[in-house]
Amino acid sequence: MITNLSAIILAAGSSKRFGKQKLCEKLPSGNTVLGETIFRVERAVSEVRIITNANVYASINGENGRLKVCPEANLGMGLTLAYGIKLVQSANACLVCLADMPFVKTTTYQTLAKSLTASNIVVPVFDGKQGNPVGFGQRFFKKLMTLSGDSGGRSLLQTHADAIQRIEVDDPAILHDIDTPEDLEKYAHINSQID
């Protein structure tokens, strides 16, 4: 198990398909989408950075102390992830989490965190499908810091297949990101029956 682990929550999307800022939407738990994601990640990893854009930063109350604004977030998820990795360079590994996946179980984050080393990549798998979050050992930080565009860390999964450790989890939420109001309603309903 890694001793110096960080987590990055990517929260810089524009929410165009949702029609308004989805990260501020309330869930049945009473938390916002972002608040629930933070709550679950922080129960698994003590060092958490939330990377966002200026618009999200301005619209979120109560989380501002933990938010870091990526000045060029509008240029894509890859650049936002690169910015986040620059903030956690002293860590031995980093779990990259998506803010619009609030139903991922804390136990999933914990399982992935326990499997991370400084030289591997961990990917959760449910029902044969890979999902999020993905963890990267420090070995990959330099390459992550050169990302741009919208591909995120996907390119590293293709070029470093030998380093990937796929971890079976009993958590369908690793496949459930919220893009539309219908997604939010559907996944909130599904997860209220699972939790």
What is the residue range of 166's domain? 5-194
In angstroms, the CA 49 to CA 81 distance is 11
Tell me phi and psi for residue 39, to 5 degrees: -55, -45
pLDDT in tens, 57-67: 877 765 556 78
In angstroms, the CA 175 to CA 192 distance is 16
Tokens of 16: 């165009």
First to last CA, the chain: 27
Domain count, the chain: 1
- pTM of the entire predicted model: 0.92
Within the chain, which residues score under 70 in pLDDT? 1-2, 61-65, 192-195
pLDDT in tens, 106-120: 999 999 999 999 999
CATH number, domain of 160, equals 3.90.550.10
Residues in the chain: 195
